[in-house]
Amino acid sequence: MNNSKSNENPMKQDNYTAQEPFVDQFESGEILKDVSHSENKTLRDIGIPETAVTGTVHASGAVTVNPVERTENNSSSIAEIIASEAEEFNRKSQNSYPDYIKTGFDLMNRDPSHRQDYLWGPYLSRKGISVIYGSSDTGKSKLMLQLCMEIVHKKENFLGYDLKPKHHRALFISAEDNDDDFERVLEMQKDLIDQKQAQNFCIIFGAENIEDKVQGFLQQFPVDLIVVDCFTDVYAKDINDNSAIRRYYNEFDKIINAHGCQVIFIHHSGKNKEYGPPNKGNSVGAQSITSKPRFVMELRNESREDPDVRQLWITKANNLGSSEKRRSIELKFDETVLRFTPTGRRHNIIEVEPDQPKFNRHEMFKSASQLRDEGQTFDQIASAVGYRSKSSVTKLFKRGDKNGWSKNEAE
């Protein structure tokens, strides 16, 4: 195509134009001058069929398709093909950004299959980093084990909300428990587990070379969920170093981006944090432990009347309304099978916000000591004095010994 012909083109403009709907003839071998990129391109180079049309690339980077005489073999689909290809070329030519740049146009017109969707309810996205934390004995590991089992058993619901796994496989990294511990738990749940489906519940024991092991596993076996139990065991560095923690999370980001899965870290809450309101700052260690992840949960035991009741709070979720984050999901723990079921009740933070205990520990120590002398178990003592677990009774006796309360009582 010579320059005079292009310059005299009556339809020179920045968008696809055609005076006739059906065109299918092309002056084969002609070159289009793309002034904006200083490159020579044929219509084939920009994806337009050579058998279809002639055209001109303008200084703006836009392409104009020139209609020509019809032939006997014209097709009604040719014009549609030309319009689509020309529009795509126009868009790319006008925004000659580097490959690593995404524009608003790109994001607004991306394939719907690439948009964020959710693994669980409106809470847990299909890929990303999340954290669940809480004090000891709340059942964090058991709850995450239950989520893994629901995934591999192809369940469509977890705690009352939609569950949408794709691969029906989960990976549990246990740095705290060993195979004997898991065998005991699974034995208690044997009536709820299909052994064939359980083949897709995979476990890595220990904390050494976790990232390499996970990468190697995922290259062969895609998963919906990875649970890491617990963060402090696999991280094994200064838990108060914000920068180091973010760098560690970045290593898992690479895994997530490569394999499109969700990673949940199990973590602990700070000392006595259960006496304050739910908040992502209740976790022990640096702020980045809960600020870097996109989704954060706190599992709490807030009921003195029923020690098997838990409240699951969403303390961070970037795409969730604030009102939803101020309401808990109430759960009931069944010790016979080590699983949770939703009660259907939800509570607002104001309704259940616990106060700092206003009791005299010395007086409580005296009561607990008397019950111990009477032969009561630590579980019975805990229930009698208002503690949630026997571990609190143990701490109370240690405090009493340290403060000399036992000696004072003896005198």
The per-residue pLDDT for 395 is 82
Residue 33, pLDDT > 70, answer no
B/e letters for 312-350, b = 16+ CB within 10 Å, e = fewer, are bbbbbbeeeeeeebbebbbbebeeebbbbebeeebbeee
Decide if pLDDT at 356 tops 70.
no
| Distances in whole angstroms, Cα of residue 84 to Cα of each of 57, 80, 333 | 16, 6, 57
- If one counts every other C-beta atom within 10 angstroms of the C-beta of residue 257, the result is 10
Rounded Cα–Cα distance for residues 123 and 158 (Å): 11
Per-residue model confidence (pLDDT) at position 27: 40
- Residue 294: what are its φ and ψ, rounded to 5°? -90, -15
* DSSP 8-class letter at 166: S
Task: Quote the tokens at residue 266.
Answer: 């199990």
How does pLDDT run across 243-289, given as a tens digit for each residue?
Answer: 999 999 999 999 999 999 999 999 999 877 777 789 898 999 999 99
Q: Give the Cα separation of 261 and 222 in Å (integer).
A: 8
Tell me the C-alpha distance between 284 and 152, whole Å. Answer: 31
- DSSP one-letter string for 275-306: GS---GGGBSS-THHHHSSSEEEEEE---SS-
28 closest CA partner among 9, 46, 43, 11: 43
Q: CATH fold of 118-352, please?
A: Rossmann fold (3.40.50)
Domains of the chain: which residue ranges? 3-108, 118-352, 361-410
Q: Which is more confidently placed, 403 or 359?
A: 403
Model confidence at 96: pLDDT above 80: no
Q: What is the pLDDT of residue 56?
A: 55
Digit-coded pLDDT (tens) for 154-193? 999 999 999 999 999 999 999 989 999 999 999 999 999 9
Three-state DSSP string of 360-388 = CHHHHHHHHHHHHHCCCCHHHHHHHHCCC
Angle between helices 361-373 and 390-403 in degrees, nearest 10: 110
